[in-house]
Structure 1
């Protein structure tokens, strides 16, 4: 079960295992959302998977499914995923390249690992759209950030600004998203926006965030106020991390299945639209199979999620 260990400086969030796309699908490690923390900035969802041998796991095969009120961020360390969506986009997710899809009012898409992929390894992230933009039109963006070298680390900034590099990918709230590779035994200090809260997800290596130890698959959280973050790799090999950030997202959101809204009724309407195959989500061409049915709604009102600081 996921939980948080709260210290004076860094809150450590652990992951839970979740099947992706159904009970027979590949398993991912989910660190957001959880009871201890729903959001880090507008980041509201973080799945971390692999390295998985496709011959053993079966790879990724997620049939057409819908989204509302969010942006999806796909980032790979190894492998390749074929993406198709109801905009008509046919693209590939490759290591070191961000694919960002906006599903405001409604979009649908598929994600399938390619036949040549032998190992699948990466993260799938969601960003909650603010109320004034949660019905934004469908959009797809792609960017391959250049590596930035600082003393002790290599960075790839896929959203926002870090170490003097700024991503051109558009978001609806200020955000930071970057892969940080830390040299063996190295310490790197990164200047950050003091108005942001941050999360550091460890993929490989034994890392300390401002002195707090993080193991692989753990996510360290820091509240706003810091002007710098210090990352230390205690391993004898390079460590890989994902750094996320943004100003606290003050809106209460309702998350259920693949939908983000503001009320139970928002979720009911989105589910009904998907189940009735309305035009709201469009159609995905080129997937050789049926679309995913929505799960049954719970026998209770779906209540908004909020962070501890909002209570």
Structure 2
């Protein structure tokens, strides 16, 4: 999914120490509402990045949306747009999205199935909810590629995990390993991504890698995550050093959540619009290349043309121009 904010911030994302609470190591992060486009745009709830936390492992971006009636919001209509230095992770609860990209892939995103697009050195893609979709509900996440992998060749992977069924839970591991299930999709840093359904008033524990930091995004219901109550739309963060993940659903309503994790990235990244880089100058170059490739702006000084992002297969839509860069270099957020 594109970040369609009209004035996206330039963010320098660094590893951060966790906020240690008196009664619990868990930090609660509240979402902010972001409209994707015009007045009838679909709204998303963004919990990464934000001031108090930029990264959970390599997870650097998390938009949570729906359930939205497509007839009222217009659904998802994101024309071709670029990405660099990241993987996009599409996970749906309800609805269907059509994906097309410049690496030649055309696929449908369906509930319970992972669509993983590796941007690497550069890719562009479009995402449109299908005409059959009445309710759209899901999450779009990005993972930052580490230095050794950020210029890799673009690719696309699809995986439909078999659920792990317990007496009171259902687990789908779409990245990494948990609860005896392992996803085969290629990762460039140690990561975990899973959906968990948990019956009301019940609990489950999973063995975890203590070198990982973890996050729990609650979609519905309320859950205690290692003792801290986390309600719908909140993201709970647990720092490294914990070998057990304890999840207890409150009485009255079953819980659906996304469980994320990974080893701390150990690198600072720069995010602006749909680009992940390492400094301001890289972002400027990515934007310049994109604008020139779609004919939105000429390359200054007669500099040579590039083909960093390519063209979306069988595309019938206008390409999305980049916003204007702010008139300032990136500064660390304090």
Q: How does the TM-score come out when normalised to structure 2?
A: 0.88
* Cα offset, 1:132, TM superposition: 1.2
2:225 to 194, 200, 209: 209
1:6, 1:236 → 2: CA distance? Answer: 30
* Cα offset, 1:236, TM superposition: 1.9
* Cα offset, 1:31, TM superposition: 0.2
Instruction: Specify whether residues 224 and 6 from structure 1 end up closer, same or farther in structure 2 by C-alpha distance, changes over 3 A only.
Output: closer
1:100, 1:139 → 2: CA distance? Answer: 8
Structure 1 equivalent of residue 241 of structure 2:
225
Report if the CA contact (8 A) 1:21-1:62 is conserved.
no
Structure 1 equivalent of residue 209 of structure 2:
193
What are the equivalent positions in structure 2 for 1:247-258 lying under 5 Å apart? 247-258=263-274
Structure 2 equivalent of residue 138 of structure 1:
154
1:304, 1:10 → 2: CA distance? Answer: 25
* Cα offset, 1:280, TM superposition: 0.4
Instruction: Specify whether residues 202 and 106 from structure 1 end up closer, same or farther in structure 2 by C-alpha distance, changes over 3 A only.
Output: same
| CA offset digits 1:204-247 (Å, max 9, x no partner) | 00111011111100000000011111111104232100000001
Q: How does the TM-score come out when normalised to structure 1?
A: 0.94
| CA offset digits 1:123-165 (Å, max 9, x no partner) | 0000000011111110000000000013421100000000011
2:323 to 280, 295, 302: 295
1:5, 1:186 → 2: CA distance? Answer: 28
| CA offset digits 1:180-200 (Å, max 9, x no partner) | 101111111111111100000
Structure 1 equivalent of residue 279 of structure 2:
263
2:321, 2:246 → 1: CA distance? Answer: 45
1:269, 1:52 → 2: CA distance? Answer: 36
Q: Which has the larger radius of gyration?
A: 2
Please tell me whether residue 95 in structure 1 is matched to residue 124 in structure 2. no
Structure 2 equivalent of residue 285 of structure 1:
313
Report if the CA contact (8 A) 1:10-1:221 is conserved.
yes
Structure 2 equivalent of residue 120 of structure 1:
136
Report if the CA contact (8 A) 2:100-2:313 is conserved.
yes
Report if the CA contact (8 A) 1:188-1:230 is conserved.
yes
For this pair of structures, how many residues does the alignment match? 303
* Cα offset, 1:22, TM superposition: 5.4
| CA offset digits 1:28-72 (Å, max 9, x no partner) | 000000010000000000000000010111100001000000000
1:5, 1:61 → 2: CA distance? Answer: 37
Structure 2 equivalent of residue 308 of structure 1:
none
1:235, 1:52 → 2: CA distance? Answer: 26
1:13 to 13, 16, 29: 29
Q: Which range is displaced more, 288-297 or 44-53?
A: 288-297
Please tell me whether residue 86 in structure 1 is matched to residue 114 in structure 2. no
Q: What RMSD over aligned residues (CA atoms) do the two structures have, in Å?
A: 1.5
Give secondary structure in 2 for the equivalent of 1:266: helix
